[in-house]
Structure 1
Amino acid sequence: MLEQTRDVFAHLIQPILFMYLAASYIPSTISLLLSPLQLNILLSPSAFKEIWFARFWSVYGPELQKNTSPAVGPLLQHVHGIVLDIGPGSGEWLPLFPANRISKIYGVEPNKDHHAALRRKIRECGLEGVYEIVPVGIEDLEEGGWIKEGRVDSVVTLFCLCSIPRPREMVARLYGLLGDGGVWVLYEHVRVKEGRWVGWYQSVMNLFWPYFLGGCELRRDTGRWVKEVGPWSQVELVQPANEPEYQVVPHIKGVLVK
């Protein structure tokens, strides 16, 4: 009983510790922008948060990849053909992509502060000429001529749908870009199921979480939105088996086939 109580407490305190970890990068980010003085960024909350989060994620992203690659790696083996890699950040997942089955990857990353690290990872993985960084959001892919409706073979969303604007609209746009028989590989955190006390706690945490984690939202019903966006020939989405019912940041993972 005591051991379970400790485990529950560890899960409840985890989001607070994670926000504290993110906040610890604020002083060094300010120092970075003071020399040379970059007032245009320091006086712009949105620009500052992008740089702050990019610096934090450049350290934490690889740790996340290391901890979850045993679950994500097998999912990525379904990826093939023309790929939309949504929110690749610093490219921590690229080593797990099956390069021999891919003809083109469009990395949709509007945060330019991630691009330098992403380019380095592209070179390390030998994907130059295959991986192209797209510096716009999902809403601009068609209008910018990057990709046409129904021309994508694979969509990859790993820990990114939590922070995109207008998520239900963007999910619908991605579904439209995916061709018949195309696959959508997904690993995301989602809202706690209704009726659980931890859902109340998750709602409280979500009052603060987006301000510390680059606009990320804890309470998005991503799994339901993706499943209901249109007809699928195959849906395999599950919660990781090692997550207890009191998980404050639960996840779903799996593959959908259009």
Structure 2
Amino acid sequence: MAQPSNAGAVSSPSQGPPDLRDRISGYLFPSRLILIGAYYFSLTLLEAPLLILTDFQTFHHKAFSKLWAVCGEDMSSDMPPGTAELVASCKGVVLDVGPGTGTQLKLFNPEAITIIYGVEPAVDMHSKLLKNAERYGLKTKYEVVGAGAEPQSLIPALEKRNLLKMGEKNSAGIFDSIACIRVLCGVPSPEETADGLYRLLKPGGRLVICEHVKQPYPNGGDFIASLFQRFYMLIGWPFWLGGCCLDRDTDQMLRKVAGPDGWSEINVNYSQTHAAVPYIMGEYLKAA
């Protein structure tokens, strides 16, 4: 089988070079989020001091939910160019992975959607997620699934909805489109999760992503930004930001779990490679 397009290193879209102000902002903006994350972590600790000892995952979700309730709308409006068109191309039966409060739901095209299953483990976000589904014309087409994206959480949740039979291997897939918008950075078992999502995708189905990833330096990217990215990880970015990891090589992970012939086409690009938080975005078409 021929290699899929864009089979090698991920390319960067043609963009003018960032000016000094953009570079400095790209280096320093994550520090603001760490401070905000630490504030809401502390606030949650004051409200539920025992929860951190009895159920740390739920505690983490609550703290991040508070942060996202305040910052999510602004952060979702500041996405790489092309994100809206990418999400709008989703069609049929869709899996929306980690939608949070639904700030990205406005990007879906309701007329192209049969049904969307929004997989969100943070139950504190579910109410706002459902409100946004109604707000953006998806009320009758959006179901919230209280589960994580990792197979041990997601598969039982899909079985309960009779989307999968008990013990089914998912080789045929059940989703026409899977959307991952700033979520694979935070899943606890990334490679296992990526493999599970690949299996849930129908042959010919599309995985669309917009994820922040490891700084690509020295293969493009920015040396100083790569140092800042390492620094933010060292001072606890995942701890303060809901388990998010800045330095995952998401593209290589998705290629690996599918194998050399698993994707018939890959069209992905880097964006904001001058920043400590660069993005990769595009689509992967599963081989039929």
Q: TM range, normalised to the smaller chain?
A: 0.7 to 0.9
- CA distance in 2 between counterparts of 1:70 and 1:248 reads 18
- CA distance in 1 between counterparts of 2:22 and 2:155 reads 46
Residue type matched to 1:211 in 2?
F
- CA distance in 1 between counterparts of 2:103 and 2:134 reads 12
* 2:88 maps to 1:61: no
1:118 Cα offset (Å): 0.7
State the structure with bigger RCO (CA 8 A, min sep 6), 1 or 2: 2
Query: Given the two structures, how large is their TM-score scaled by the length of structure 1?
Result: 0.87
Query: Could you tell which deviates more after superposition, 179-188 or 13-22?
Result: 13-22
Which of 213, 224, 228 in structure 1 is aligned with 2:252? 224
Partner of 1:205: 232
- CA distance in 2 between counterparts of 1:84 and 1:8 reads 35
Residue type matched to 1:126 in 2?
G
Partner of 1:143: 156
Residue type matched to 1:252 in 2?
I
What SS class does the counterpart of residue 25 from structure 1 fall into?
Answer: helix
The answer (yes or no) to whether the contact 2:96–2:117 under 8 Å persists in 1 is: yes
The answer (yes or no) to whether the contact 2:41–2:240 under 8 Å persists in 1 is: no
The answer (yes or no) to whether the contact 2:174–2:200 under 8 Å persists in 1 is: yes
* 2:207 maps to 1:181: no
RMSD of Structure 2 on Structure 1 (CA): 2.2
Which of 262, 265, 279 in structure 2 is aligned with 1:234? 265
Which of 242, 254, 258 in structure 1 is aligned with 2:282? 254
What SS class does the counterpart of residue 82 from structure 2 fall into?
Answer: helix
Partner of 1:88: 99
Partner of 2:191: 168
Residue type matched to 2:211 in 1?
E
The answer (yes or no) to whether the contact 2:214–2:248 under 8 Å persists in 1 is: yes
- CA distance in 1 between counterparts of 2:80 and 2:105 reads 11
Query: Given the two structures, how large is their TM-score scaled by the length of structure 2?
Result: 0.79
- CA distance in 2 between counterparts of 1:166 and 1:29 reads 25
The answer (yes or no) to whether the contact 1:82–1:154 under 8 Å persists in 2 is: yes
- CA distance in 2 between counterparts of 1:132 and 1:111 reads 15
What SS class does the counterpart of residue 157 from structure 1 fall into?
Answer: strand
| Cα 1:68–1:10 shift into 2, 3 Å | closer
1:22 Cα offset (Å): 2.3
1:194 Cα offset (Å): 4.5
Deviations 1:43-88 (A, max 9, x none): 5544332212101111211112222275211001221111000000
Question: Which consecutive unaligned segments of at least 5 residues does structure 1 have?
Answer: none
- CA distance in 2 between counterparts of 1:70 and 1:99 reads 21
| Cα 1:80–1:43 shift into 2, 3 Å | same
Residue type matched to 1:111 in 2?
A
What SS class does the counterpart of residue 176 from structure 1 fall into?
Answer: helix
- CA distance in 2 between counterparts of 1:65 and 1:12 reads 19
Aligned residue pairs, count: 248
- CA distance in 1 between counterparts of 2:98 and 2:191 reads 16
Residue type matched to 1:151 in 2?
I
The answer (yes or no) to whether the contact 1:78–1:183 under 8 Å persists in 2 is: no
Please list, as runs of the form range in 1=range in 2, the aligned pairs for 1:70-89 lying within 5 A after superposition: 70-89=81-100
1:224 Cα offset (Å): 1.2
* 2:43 maps to 1:41: no
Deviations 1:121-174 (A, max 9, x none): 122123223111110122133334043321110000000000001101100100
Partner of 1:16: 31
What SS class does the counterpart of residue 110 from structure 1 fall into?
Answer: coil
Please list, as runs of the form range in 1=range in 2, the aligned pairs for 1:99-138 lying within 5 A after superposition: 99-138=110-149
What SS class does the counterpart of residue 142 from structure 1 fall into?
Answer: helix
Percent pairwise identity? 32
* 2:162 maps to 1:152: no
| Cα 1:9–1:70 shift into 2, 3 Å | closer
Which of 40, 43, 48 in structure 2 is aligned with 1:25? 40
Question: Which consecutive unaligned segments of at least 5 residues does structure 2 have?
Answer: 1-17, 165-169
